[in-house]
């Protein structure tokens, strides 16, 4: 399944999600034809049950979809929908078709049967039909038609990150969080998504930058022949490799429960790689990379944005560090060799 | 060369099953072993300990049974060596023989050479050193001058090696020497590898003290040393290709990111269960980097299992790993107001003093940072 997913989505995105296409999405246009093409191939429901048209793929297989979404900077909430539907399925509400996104942060509170409050930084909120969030110990599905306001916002890459306002809204469905699933599940899952997207974007950045270095000539030779440039690109390759391994580990070790320990590791490793990688990409490209016209920034602006979404490297390092210290010196090495058996308690963001 | 070489790889169960035994053995053997000695990790020499490992069947594991090995997978070996290193066991006596010389002999040696050298390596009784560097040939090994001339039934060896780790304790050196002229055979031609018995007349070994006063590496002089014909390993004139293959063994393992791990243990003991904000963040980040490096290294091991040549991927892990193990003492000295101390002081203070001084070597031994990054760049198609 994984190979098929990967080849299909890579082909689809490389055809449609071109630099010009991403630019018009950044200008505010909804990518309706991309969304439709993804729907026709069943990607939004890849993790959902067959009965509703899904492929019942696990996180291990979904990884290649999410990484490709990052690699081609797909300007749609595809990855958010995969996570949202996974949670809807797990809680018994059932996956939805239609544009669906997630909200990991907010002030939503129950008032009897109704919900009031704000949801923050909702990816593609303005374009969504459905929002999945967690309120208390309940998974909640909200129909965007019930929102009382949308305050548009954008991340560094011009991707919609909107605040949504609800006043005494009816939710479309709600159900208790599955047992042992933490209230921060969307925060954890979001970090996992962004880690794979960053791994994808770094892979594209490495290809773009080494390709450019082989073509661009100065002092009569390609700049790739200068050791100073080679040394920088080697570091970019190392960081890209680290990001790919870390993100794949997080997905491969997630199943019914998200592997929060490995996800923390992945978010830290990919966010740090994003910072280093974006710097090298610009350095090697010289002035051309700083232009609107050249497509380097479509990757680097996303890397800068994604590294801090669903918790920065500092947020996750702090969570992980507290856990490691509490476990103590004797537990450290066994924890490294059996990291996938550990669940990391994750505080709400902002309360580091 | 592509990033897809780095795929998620897990240690198979049968290899993982070895871990509990090794851990148990190490807990007992290292019970009263001081923290600063643990920090020596693969620089710590203890022949008795190496023989014990040999008895347990934990040396030369990946070698065929016929030569005393266990025909075990690279993952089985991985589990053993990472446990040894994480515990700070003194593995230096057998280290080079087990990791580098044995696979080289297995690959390029004659049946008689395998019969002669491999079984004692597996028993932890035979130690090797590597003679590549010379006073004027470090990164540029192609410029080596030590030479062996054919004489009646063998070879006559003259020249000098330097920085030879453990030459003073080793039984044999595998040396790269010149057997033809560079002018005739090209920059990397005219070189051959020899297994040199270090007890032969005409060999002088002189230890060189390192900056912390330790004596690990040496100068080795060859003055008209007579070598038998069967001292040659592999093919005459193919030394360069053999060395390149050998270096891939040297660059792939957990020893390339675990050199400072002892300090993590002493730091955690001092920080205790309630770190401050800075400590929590840095301990978390170190943990994440360590795990990611380990996962990268497991991906390289999978490449070995699959029969691929992981030289490029191994260079990535070594360079990133060296950066990590060099940063560890730097980061950890900022987290605790605990002064590094060579004599006296806490375990942490002593380990910090030792590793701060050793750290520069991590990115030199086994190929410098710049050389590794050059190899990575070549793999990217840039040169
Ligand atoms: C602890 C320790 C143990 C060792 N053990 C052994 C051993 O057992 N056997 C053995 O044979 N050797 C051993 N060595 C030697 C080691 O392999 C060499 O130190 C290493 O190859 C570098 O050579 P050099 O020290 O001569 O530095 P040089 O080659 O002189 O390099 C100095 C600096 O110049 C840079 N440089 C050199 N050439 C280039 C280039 N083409 N492009 C860019 N930068 C360049 C290097 O990266 C480095 O930064 C050991 C070294 C140490 C520190």
Find out whether the beta carbon of B287 lies less than 6 Å from any atom of ligand 1: no
Per-residue pLDDT tens over the stretch A89-120: 999 999 999 999 999 999 999 999 999 999 99
CATH homologous superfamily, domain A1-176? Acyl-CoA dehydrogenase/oxidase, N-terminal domain (1.10.540.10)
d(CA A188, CA A321): 16
- Please work out whether the CB of residue B146 comes within 6 Å of at least one atom of ligand 1: no
> Range(s) for CATH 1.10.540.10 in chain A?
1-176
Query: Does B275 sit within 8 Å of A322, measured CB to CB?
Result: yes
- Closest chain A residue to the Cα of B270, Cα to Cα: A329
- Using CA atoms, how far apart are residues B39 and B43, in angstroms rounded to an integer? 9
Q: Which of A249, A251, A280 to mutate to test the interface with B (most CBs of B within 10 A)?
A: A249
Binary contact (B292, A265; C-beta < 8 A): yes
Closest ligand 1 atom number to CA of residue B369 = 47
Which residues in chain B are closer than 8 Å to A226, comparing Cβ atoms?
none
Alpha carbons B173 and B150: distance in angstroms, whole number: 19
pLDDT of the residue at B182: 73
Q: What is the pLDDT of residues B91-114, one digit of tens each?
A: 999 999 999 999 999 999 999 999
The fold of B3-126 is: Butyryl-Coa Dehydrogenase, subunit A; domain 1 (1.10.540)
Q: What is the pLDDT of residues B245-303, one digit of tens each?
A: 778 767 778 999 999 999 999 999 999 999 999 999 999 999 999 999 999 999 999 99
Q: What pLDDT, on the 0 to 100 scale, is given for residue A348?
A: 80
Compute the average pLDDT of residues B58-65: 96
First to last CA, chain A: 39
Burial of B190-221, coded b for 16+ CB within 10 Å and e otherwise, reads bbbbbbbebeeeebebeeeeeeeeeebbbbbb
**Ligand 1 atom nearest B129 alpha carbon:** 8
CB contact under 8 A, A230 and B382: yes
Q: How far is the CA of B367 from the centre of ligand 1 (A)?
A: 6
Q: Please tell me if residue A234 touches chain B, with a CB cutoff of 8 Å.
A: yes
CA of A319 to the centre of ligand 1 (A): 40
Judged against a pLDDT cut of 90, whether residue B383 lies above it is answered with no
Q: Per the CB < 8 Å rule, is A241 touching B319?
A: no
| A positions 291-330 inside 8 Å of B (CB) | 313-314, 316-326, 328-329
Residues paired with A111 in a beta bridge = A114
Asked whether B137 lines ligand 1 (CB < 6 A), one says no
Q: Name the closest residue on chain B to residue A321, using Cα atoms.
A: B284
Q: Region A185-211: what's the mean pLDDT? A: 98
Nearest CA in chain B to A325: B273
Summarize pLDDT for B162-202 with one digit per residue, the tens.
Answer: 999 999 999 999 999 999 887 777 788 899 999 999 999 99
Q: Ligand 1 mean position to B371 CA, how many Å? A: 9
Q: pLDDT above 70 covers what percent of chain B?
A: 100
**CATH of the domain spanning B251-380, picked from 3.10.20.30, 3.40.1390.10, 1.20.140.10, 2.60.120.10:** 1.20.140.10
Q: Chain B within 8 Å of A4 (Cβ-Cβ)?
A: no
Q: Which of A241, A224, A265, A206 is nearest to B319 (CA)?
A: A241
pLDDT of residue A350: 61
Other Cβ atoms less than 10 A from the Cβ of B145: the count is 14
* B303 pocket-lining for ligand 1 (C-beta < 6 Å): no
A128 with A76: CB under 8 angstroms? no
The percentage of chain A sitting over the pLDDT mark of 70, rounded to a whole number, equals 99
B130-238, CATH topology level: Butyryl-CoA Dehydrogenase, subunit A; domain 2 (2.40.110)
Q: How do the domains of chain B map onto residue ranges?
A: 3-126, 130-238, 251-380
Give distance in angstroms: CA of A306 to centre of ligand 1: 39
Classify domain A184-337 at the CATH topology level: Butyryl-CoA Dehydrogenase, subunit A; domain 3 (1.20.140)
* A94 CB-contact burial (10 Å; exposed 0-12 / middle 13-18 / buried 19+): middle
CB-CB under 8 Å, B275 with A325: yes
Which pLDDT score is estimated for A71?
Answer: 98
Q: Is B291 within 8 Å of A336 when comparing Cβ atoms?
A: yes
- The predicted structure's pLDDT at residue B309: 86
- The 10s digit of each residue's pLDDT in B355-367 is 999 999 999 999 9
Taking 50 as the threshold, does the pLDDT of residue A352 lie above it?
A: no
Of ligand 1's listed atoms, the one at least distance from the Cα of B360 is 53
Query: In this complex, do A213 and B265 lie within 8 Å of one another by their Cβ atoms?
Result: no
CB distance B289–A329 less than 8 Å?
no
| Mean pLDDT, residues B302-319 | 92
Chain region(s) in chain A for CATH 1.20.140.10: 184-337
Picking from A236, A248, A274, A333 by the largest number of B CB atoms within 10 A of its own CB, the best residue to mutate is: A333
Is it true that B130-238 and B251-380 share their CATH fold? no
- Among the residues of chain B, which ranges form H helices? 13-16, 19-29, 35-40, 47-56, 74-87, 92-96, 102-108, 111-122, 182-185, 239-250, 261-271, 277-305, 311-332, 347-362, 369-379
């Amino acid at each position: 399944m994984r190979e098929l997913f990967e080849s299909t989505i890579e082909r689809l995105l490389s055809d449609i999600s071109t630099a010009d296409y991403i630019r018009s999405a950044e200008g505010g246009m909804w990518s309706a034809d991309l969304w439709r093409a993804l729907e026709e191939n069943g990607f939004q429901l890849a993790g959902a049950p067959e009965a509703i048209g899904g492929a019942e793929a696990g996180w291990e297989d979904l990884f290649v979809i999410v990484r490709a979404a990052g690699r081609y900077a797909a300007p749609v909430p595809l990855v958010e929908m995969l996570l949202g539907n996974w949670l809807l399925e797990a809680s018994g509400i059932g996956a939805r078709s239609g544009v669906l996104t997630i909200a990991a942060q907010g002030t939503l509170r129950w008032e009897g049967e109704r919900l009031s409050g704000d949801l923050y930084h909702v990816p593609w909120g303005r374009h969504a039909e459905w929002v999945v969030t967690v309120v208390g110990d309940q998974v909640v599905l909200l129909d965007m038609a019930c929102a009382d306001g949308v305050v548009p916002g954008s991340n560094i890459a011009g991707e919609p990150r909107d605040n949504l306002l609800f006043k005494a809204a009816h939710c479309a469905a709600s159900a208790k969080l599955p047992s042992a699933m933490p209230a921060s599940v969307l925060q954890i899952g979001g970090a996992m998504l962004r880690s794979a997207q960053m791994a994808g974007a770094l892979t594209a950045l490495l290809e773009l930058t080494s390709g450019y270095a082989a073509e661009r000539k100065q002092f009569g030779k390609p700049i790739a022949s200068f050791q100073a440039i080679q040394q920088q690109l080697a570091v970019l390759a190392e960081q890209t490799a680290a990001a790919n391994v870390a993100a794949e580990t997080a997905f491969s070790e997630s199943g019914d429960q998200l592997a929060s320990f490995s996800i923390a590791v992945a978010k830290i490793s990919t966010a740090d790689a994003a910072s280093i990688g974006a710097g090298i990409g610009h350095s090697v490209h010289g002035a051309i990379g700083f232009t609107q016209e050249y497509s380097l920034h479509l990757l680097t602006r996303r890397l800068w944005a994604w590294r801090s979404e669903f918790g920065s490297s500092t947020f996750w390092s702090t969570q992980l560090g507290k856990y490691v210290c509490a476990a103590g010196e004797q537990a450290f090495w066994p924890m490294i060799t059996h990291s996938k058996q550990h669940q990391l308690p994750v505080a709400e963001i902002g309360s580091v | 060369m592509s990033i897809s070489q780095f795929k998620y790889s897990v240690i198979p169960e049968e290899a993982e099953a070895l871990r509990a035994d090794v851990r148990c053995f190490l807990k007992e053997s290292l019970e009263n072993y001081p923290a600063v000695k643990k920090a020596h990790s693969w620089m710590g020499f203890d022949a008795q300990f190496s023989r014990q490992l040999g008895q347990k069947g934990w040396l030369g594991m990946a070698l065929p049974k016929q030569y005393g090995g266990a025909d075990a997978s690279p993952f089985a070996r991985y589990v053993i060596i990472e446990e040894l290193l994480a515990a700070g066991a003194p593995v230096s006596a057998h280290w080079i023989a087990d990791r580098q010389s044995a696979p080289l002999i297995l690959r390029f040696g004659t049946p008689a050479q395998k019969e002669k050298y491999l079984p004692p390596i597996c028993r932890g009784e035979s130690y090797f050193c590597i003679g590549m560097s010379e006073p004027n040939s470090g990164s540029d090994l192609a410029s080596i001058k030590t030479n062996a001339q054919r004489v009646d039934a063998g070879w006559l060896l003259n020249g000098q090696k330097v920085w030879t780790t453990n030459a003073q304790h080793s039984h044999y050196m595998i040396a790269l020497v010149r057997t033809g002229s560079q002018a005739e055979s090209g920059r990397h031609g005219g070189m051959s590898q020899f297994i040199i018995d270090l007890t032969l007349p005409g060999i002088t070994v002189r230890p060189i003290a390192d900056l912390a006063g330790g004596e690990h590496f040496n100068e080795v002089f060859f003055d008209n040393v007579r070598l038998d014909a069967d001292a040659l390993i592999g093919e005459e004139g193919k030394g360069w290709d053999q060395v390149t293959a050998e270096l891939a063994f040297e660059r792939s393992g957990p020893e390339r990111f675990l050199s400072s791990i002892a300090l993590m243990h002493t730091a955690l003991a001092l920080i205790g269960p309630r770190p401050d904000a800075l400590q929590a963040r840095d301990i978390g980040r170190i943990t994440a980097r360590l795990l990611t490096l380990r996962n990268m290294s497991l991906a390289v091991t999978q490449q070995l299992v699959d029969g691929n040549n992981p030289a490029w991927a191994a260079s990535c892990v070594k360079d990133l790993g060296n950066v990590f193990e060099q940063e560890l003492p730097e980061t950890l000295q900022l987290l605790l107001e605990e002064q590094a101390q060579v004599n006296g002081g806490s375990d942490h203070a002593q380990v910090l003093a030792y590793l701060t001084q050793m750290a520069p070597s991590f990115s030199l031994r086994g190929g410098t940072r710049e050389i590794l990054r050059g190899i990575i760049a070549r793999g990217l198609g840039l040169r």
